[in-house]
Structure 1
C-alpha cells in the first residue's frame, strides 16, 4: 500500500481538499442507522496520510505545517459533520415559511464550527508528528482531547463523537462503562488509524499488534460482561416495576397547530388505556414523551381530571410538559421544559425542569449582544424556555426515584451526577419528530442507551415518534418501538449492575489514556528528531 500512501501524501489543490472531505464523510456511515464501523478505518487511514503530506509552505517553518494540518483536520471534520448532521435542517422545514432562511446555518454552519475541534486535533498531533506509530498515538490523544472540549465549549455539543462509531452494538458498548466516550475515542482513533502503517513501513509490526490487542480487548471485555449480565441482574433485590411507554406518533406540524391540542391530548389518553396483551402485568408507571401535554397543566384542572379518570388506582403518569412560573407583577412568566409525576387522583406529586437547554431551539444565547448587533433573525428563532439552576430527581409514590434527562440532555455524559446511584432508572423523554425519517432519531437513541451502560442503570425512553424503548444496564433493548410506529411498550425493569467505575473514575482513566498515548507520541518524536540529526 506504499504506492497509495505516496499518492495521497502528494495530492495538492482541489484533489487534496476533496479527499479530506470524503475521508470525513465516509466515516459517517459508522453511525446509526448504518453502523458500518469499518468505514472509519478508511477515514482515519486517509487522514494520517493526508497529515503526512501536510508540509506547509517551503521555508514556512513549524507554523506553516501546523496551519496545513489544521486545514486538513477542518476539512475532514466538515465532511464528517455535514454527512452525519444534515438532518438538522429538517427541523427548520417544519415551519419553513418562518425559518427556512436558517437552513444553510444548520446544514453547513454548525458542521463548519464543529470541524474547528478536529482541525485543532490534527494541528496538535502535527506538533509531535513522527514517522512511526507515534503519529497514530498523537492523533488518538489529540482527538480525545478535542471531543472532550467539544462536550462543553460554548454550551457543548458532543453529538456523534468518534467513539459512537466504535460501539454500534452492545457487544462493543461495554468499554464505555470503564473509559467513557472520550477514553474510548482515544483508543478507537488509534485502532482506526492503524492501517496507515501498511503504507509507511516503520513500526508496522508493533503498531498493528497493539491495535489488534486493543480491538480484541474491546470485544473480549464486551463478551465477558454480557455473559455475566443476566446473572448480575438476577442477583438484585428481585423487585420489578412495570412500565408502559406511550409513543403517539404526532406529526410535529400538528403539534404546532393550536386547534389540535384536545385531539392530541386525548390520543395520549387512548393509548394509555389500551388493553394489555395476555399475561402482561398492569403498568405501575405510564410514560409520555417530551412536551406531550399541549397546554399548561396547572392552568387546566380539567386535563388533570381526565388523567385521573384514565389512570387506575395506584398508577402514576410521568409526562413531559411545559411548566409556567409567575416571575412577578408586570414581568412575563417563565416557562420551563419539564417532567411531571401525576398520581391516579390527578395530583402533581413531583416535577423536574430541564437544565441543559438547546441553543436557538429552546433559548437564544447572547441575546442582548445579538440584538445590539442588529441580528434580529437569530433572536426570532424558536425559544423562550428558562433553564433550571440544578437537576431535580423525580420522586414516585413509595419513594422510588428516577433520574430525568429531557431530550438532548442524554447526549452529555457529564449531565449525570453521582446522585444517579440513588435512583431506580434513568428516564429520557424526547420529541424527535422535528427531524423526520432521518438518521437523527437513530443517532439520538444510540447515545441515550450508552448512558445506561455507563451508569449500570435501566433506561426508560419515551419519544413522540420514536425510538422509544426500555434498555437494560448493558445497552440491550428489552422492549422497543421503532421510528414512526404508533403504540405502547409494556416492559418490566428491576435490578442494577453495580459498577466499579463512576463518572469521576472514567475522567481519570480518560486522562491516563491521553497521557499514555502522549508519552508514545513524544518519545517517538524525540527518537525521530535524534535520527534526523
Structure 2
C-alpha cells in the first residue's frame, strides 16, 4: 500500500467482518441505507485484499464461515422463527439447526474470498486489475452459481436508493457488479490519493456515467395500459400448524373472518372494484377443487365464501388455495363473475424445508426433524391470467406465489413465455413472525418491478401489503402489519409488449463478460506493481 494512502492498516483484519456484517444489515430493510451498502462493499474489498496478502486457505475458510454466520445473525436472524415453527422442535434443537444454517447460508462469499486468493497465488495481478476486473467479476459469479435457500444478491444492498437502483433494468446481478465496480474505483482513488485531486477525475467519471444511465432510466416514459382499481385484503390470519386443520372451531372462525373482511372491502369501496385480491393462506389447508381422492382439500365453506364475494361485488376474485391434483399444490386461483368459472396457476418454485424436504427419499428421518414441512409438488409454466374490468377492458397479469418473487430469472421466464400488464404476488410471511423479514421479502418485489418494467402488487396475509411501479417506487402506503387491513389501489398498468434489457437479454451477456475478464486477468502477463503492496 502506498506510504501516503488514506486507507489505514488494520492489525487484525478478521475483526473487520463484524462491522461489515452490521453495515450489510443496515443496507437491507428495515433500514435501507444504500450508503451502508457502499461502505460494506468498500470494506469487503479491503478485507479481500488482506486475504490475498495472507494467502492462507485455512484463514480464507474461517473468514467465509465467520462472514456467513455474522450476516445471518445480523440481517436474517428471523430465520430462527421459521426453523422453530417448521421443525416443531424445542429451543435447543432449533438453536443447533439455526447455527448450522448460519454457518452455510451465505457461503457465496467464499467464491469471492477463495477466487481472489487462488488468482493471486497463480498470477501477479496489478491492483487496478484486481479491484476493477477480478473482484466485481467474482461477486457477479457468486450471484450466478450459488443457490441459496433465501436468495440474496449483492445488488439487493442498493435497492433502496431510487436513483442508483435503476441499473436493475439490466438485472440485479448487473446492479451488484456496477456497485462493486464503483466502490473499487473509490478504493483505488484513495490508494493513489497522494497524486493530487487532478487524478481523481479518472476514477469519478465512470461513477458519474453510471448515475447518468440511472437518471435516464428514471426519466424514461413508459407506455401505459388501462388503470384498474384493486381491493387488497389483509385478513391477518396467523400461521397454522397441522393440528389446527382438525380444529373445527378455529377453521370456522377463520373462514368467517375472511368472508367478513371481504364484504367490508366491497361495501367501503369508493368506486367500482376491478379485481378483489386475497393473499396466500388467508384460509389455510383448504381448497375449492373437488376431487374423489381421499387426500382432497375440498371445502364447501371455502367455495361459498369465494363465490359469494364474487356475486356480491360482480368482480373477479384472486385467492390462494391448497388443491389436490396428483398431489397437493399451492395454487393461485382467479374466479370470474361469469358462470363462476375458475382458472388456476400452480406454484412452480417451492420453498425448501417449507413446502418440500430436499433429500427426503434418501434421508427419510428428516421428516422427524421437520414435521410441519408440507409435501407439495410444483406446477408447470402456463399462460398469463386475464380478467375483464368494469370498463370492459381485458387486463392480464403474471402470477407469483410468495417465494417465487425472490427469483428474477423465474419472473423473466414467465413474462417471455406470456407477456402481461402487471405482476401479482400473493404471499404469507406469518411463519417468520418478523417485520424485518416482511420488509426484506417485499424489497425483492421492488427490484422485480424494475427488472421487468411492470408494476408489482404484493398482497400479504399479515403484511406487508404494498405495490411498486416500474421504477421501484411505492404506489400506496404500506398497510400496517399483523392486523386486519384493506387497501385500495388505482393501478396504472403497462402495455403487454413492455420490455427491459433484462427481459430482452437476461443475465447471459454479463456472465460471459465476467468470465472473459477473469480469463484476461489470468492469462495476461504483468509484472508486479512495486509501488502497491
TM range (shorter): 0.7 to 0.9
CA displacement 1:95-128 (0-9 Å, x = unmatched): 7854645533564333322332211222212334
Secondary structure, aligned partner of 1:251: coil
Match of 1:177 in 2: 169
User: Which of the numbers 428, 450, 459 marks the counterpart of 1:431?
Assistant: 428
Distance (Å, rounded) in 2 between the aligned partners of 1:183 and 1:219: 14
Match of 1:220 in 2: 212
Match of 1:303 in 2: 302
Match of 1:25 in 2: 22
Pick which of 28-37 and 415-424 moved more.
Answer: 415-424
Does residue 243 (structure 1) correspond to residue 230 (structure 2)? The answer is yes
Distance (Å, rounded) in 2 between the aligned partners of 1:255 and 1:266: 20
Question: Structure 1 residues 157, 105: closer, same or farther in 2, change over 3 A?
Answer: same
TM-score w.r.t. structure 1 length?
0.83
- 1:430 Cα deviation after fit: 0.4
Equivalent positions of 1:92-241 (< 5 A) are: 92-94=83-85, 98=89, 100-104=91-95, 107-129=98-120, 130-137=125-132, 138-150=134-146, 153=147, 156-157=148-149, 159-178=151-170, 180-197=171-188, 200-201=191-192, 209=201, 212-229=204-221, 232-233=222-223, 236-237=224-225, 239-241=226-228
Distance (Å, rounded) in 2 between the aligned partners of 1:216 and 1:133: 19
Distance (Å, rounded) in 2 between the aligned partners of 1:451 and 1:490: 22
Secondary structure, aligned partner of 2:426: strand
Distance (Å, rounded) in 1 between the aligned partners of 2:45 and 2:220: 39
Equivalent positions of 1:346-361 (< 5 A) are: 347-361=340-354
- 1:386 Cα deviation after fit: 1.3
Pick which of 200-209 and 118-127 moved more.
Answer: 200-209
- 1:209 Cα deviation after fit: 4.5
Pick which of 465-474 and 107-116 moved more.
Answer: 107-116
Distance (Å, rounded) in 2 between the aligned partners of 1:70 and 1:4: 29
Secondary structure, aligned partner of 1:386: coil
Distance (Å, rounded) in 2 between the aligned partners of 1:99 and 1:340: 36
- 1:405 Cα deviation after fit: 0.9
Match of 1:60 in 2: none
- 1:66 Cα deviation after fit: 5.1
Match of 1:331 in 2: none
- Aligned positions, number: 502
- 1:479 Cα deviation after fit: 1.7
- 1:382 Cα deviation after fit: 1.5
Across the aligned residues of Structure 1 and Structure 2, the Cα RMSD in angstroms comes to 3.4
Question: Structure 1 residues 507, 247: closer, same or farther in 2, change over 3 A?
Answer: same
Secondary structure, aligned partner of 1:528: coil
CA displacement 1:148-201 (0-9 Å, x = unmatched): 112xx4xx44633221112214333211012x0111111212223444436643
Distance (Å, rounded) in 1 between the aligned partners of 2:357 and 2:371: 9
- 1:277 Cα deviation after fit: 9.2
Q: List alignment gaps of at least 5 residues for structure 2.
A: 290-297
Question: Structure 1 residues 187, 266: closer, same or farther in 2, change over 3 A?
Answer: same
1:297 touches 1:304 (CA, 8 Å); kept in 2? yes
Pick which of 157-166 and 191-200 moved more.
Answer: 191-200
Match of 2:239 in 1: 252
Q: List alignment gaps of at least 5 residues for structure 1.
A: 58-63, 328-333
